[in-house]
Chains A and B, each alone.
Chain A
Amino acid sequence: MANMVLKAPRPGYTGYVEQEHHHDYGGDTVFGFWIYILSDCVLFATLFAVFAVLQSNFAGTIQAKDLFELDYVLAETALLLASSFTFGLAVLSANKKSMAGLVVWLGITFALGAGFLYMEINEFIHFTHEGAAAWSSGAWSAFYGLIGTHGLHVFAGMLWMLVLFGLLFKEGLSDNNIVRLMCLSLFWHFLDIIWICVFSFVYLMGVL
């Protein structure tokens, strides 16, 4: 084989690898955010565990059974579920590179989230007036701790949407903005999943 002749290299061949395999940094970011979501899951699990342990310790204060209004909770649930759906439509618009669609659906999601938060705060004020304040008893502390943490998350998600609006108007549908939108999408759908557990375990089982 010593007399084998190598073919001449193709024109422009340098011997170096010119095209590195594209590394998906955006994917790493979304995966990292997914890990954060899972750690948030553990946070909510502890709050659910506290609620489960303390839920009957009313210590003479008004009972959850006498205070919960299921039609009100159903309306809150509808708002949050609808907002989860409209966020999905916002992501679909972004995938179609439709800036107008994205802004409209994200705006509707923001409005639905605001409606949910308004109803929740209203409910807290109503409960507190009825004698079920956060400091009244163990059961009510656990209730406000759990629901309030969820509400704070919704509030954080809405702030994030406002920031994203600013970035979208500044940079348009850049790769960075798409990654931000994907992370927020995970966050928002996650909050809806937590709310499923809230209305099932806190409200529905609370009135049984």
Chain B
Amino acid sequence: MNTNDTHSPGGAAAGSLSEYLLGLSLSVILTAVPFAVVMSGTLGETLSIILILLCAIGQVMVQLVFFLHMNTSSQQMWNSVSGIFVVLLVVILIVGSLWIMQHLNHNMLMGH
């Protein structure tokens, strides 16, 4: 009757061993690939950067799903909504800083 009994507090579903093992294996792969690429230096710089970015985003997603058990259930809606809001803040913060500082460099140093 009380569904809260089968869940940990905060709506964070209790994971299972297979979930953690899958998360660990995916994380190992997504760590090994970018390290191998950069250490061997086989790919060019641009391709390497794209690969590092993709693996990083992938591993963050993997850990959010398999270690932090985030999902789209209504019990976790506030967790997800606040998380998405913070992702927006982070993007504005980082992209905005880089944008402003690049213009500043351009106008102050690279000018006449």
Contacts and interface: CB of A to CB of B under 8 A. Distances in A.
Given A42-B86, A192-B63, A193-B64, A70 B39 contact: yes
Nearest to A186: B68
Chain A, interface size category, equals: 35 or more
A46 interface: yes
A89 B21 CA distance: 10
Nearest to A52: B98
Nearest to A74: B35
Interface in B57-102: 59-60, 63-64, 67-68, 78-79, 82-83, 85-86, 89-90, 93-94, 97-98, 101
Interface in B1-59: 2, 4, 8-12, 14-17, 20, 23-24, 27-28, 31, 34-35, 38-39, 45, 48-49, 52-53, 55-56, 59
Contacts of A52: 94, 97-98
Given A92-B20, A204-B34, A182 B2 contact: no
Contacts of A193: 60, 63-64
A45 B94 contact: yes
A38 B82 contact: yes
Interface residues of B, number: 47
Interface stretch (A80-88, A145-153, A154-162, A163-171): A80-88
A41 B15 contact: no
Nearest to A201: B56
A33 B5 CA distance: 21
A208 B50 CA distance: 12
Interface of A is mostly: helix
Nearest to A84: B67
Interface of B is mostly: helix
A53 B98 contact: yes
A43 to B, nearest CB: 10
Interface of A: 22, 24, 26-31, 33-35, 38-39, 41-42, 45-46, 48-50, 52-53, 70-71, 74, 77-78, 81, 84-85, 88-89, 91-92, 95, 178-179, 182, 186, 189-190, 192-193, 196-197, 199-201, 204-205, 207-208
Given A193-B63, A196-B59, A200-B56, 11 more contacts: A41-B86, A81-B27, A84-B63, A88-B15, A88-B20, A88-B23, A89-B17, A95-B14, A178-B9, A182-B10, A182-B12
